[in-house]
Amino acid sequence: MAPRSAKRSGVLELAVLGLLDQSPMHGYELRKRLSGVLGTFHAISYGSLYPCLKDLVARGWLVEDGEGEPTGLSGKRARIVYRLTAEGKEHFQQLIAEAGPDTWEDERFGVRLAFFGRTEASVRMRILEGRRSRLEERLDTLRQSLARSRERLDSYTLELQQHGLDSVEREVRWLDELIASERDASTTTKKSGAPTGQPVTTTSGAGNYPTAHGE
């Protein structure tokens, strides 16, 4: 299993590529947009963002463009705008085509959900079903643990354990709704003969899904 720091680095890389796939941005704007995508899970600092950007430039997935000319009076440097290369776009498409177990985990699921609008319908379904399966396993573990230790827990610890269980149950119900919507959309698309692969519309904002506690 990859170290947690490596997983977080991979999540940041995916989010950066995904946002720059929409439009070029300078570092300050990109950091603000990343906070919207990853804010539930990560505090994005320049100390983590710029090393990531430099690494992506070194790999040939980004290029740096100067925005404006430096002035002699102020001495300010031109702002750097980061833009995806053709190789970067191809790599991003490869990343959002993945639907393996890593995409079901807490570290990566939120950012994958944020880019479901550019993800194939079959991939979205595999990720949603995989996430639900992973949480159902977690539910079984939490219920067994709570049943074994209920008599030994004080009221506050018991409430904390129950809160974690309730959180996971809420996310499972939410996933059930998303999966049902995906299936309905797929059925409607097949009947109408329209191209497949369009995302379903939900009331949840990207990255703002119910958080599963009590891991």
pLDDT at 205: 40
pLDDT in tens, the chain (215 residues): 555 555 667 889 999 999 999 999 999 899 889 887 876 556 677 788 999 999 999 999 999 987 655 545 555 666 899 999 999 999 999 999 999 999 999 889 999 999 999 999 999 999 999 999 999 999 999 999 888 888 888 999 999 999 999 999 999 999 999 999 999 988 877 766 655 555 554 444 444 455 544 44
pLDDT at 17: 96
Burial profile 31-67: b = 16 or more Cβ within 10 angstroms, e = fewer: bebbebbbeebbebeeeebeebbeebbeeebbeeeee
C-alpha distances in Å from residue 48, one per residue of 13, 27, 34, 115, 180: 11, 12, 12, 21, 38
Lookup: tokens for 200: 């379903």
pTM (two decimals): 0.79
Lookup: tokens for 109: 């699921």
Tell me how many degrees the CA angle 103-43-97 measures, rounded to the nearest 5.
Answer: 20
pLDDT at 207: 44
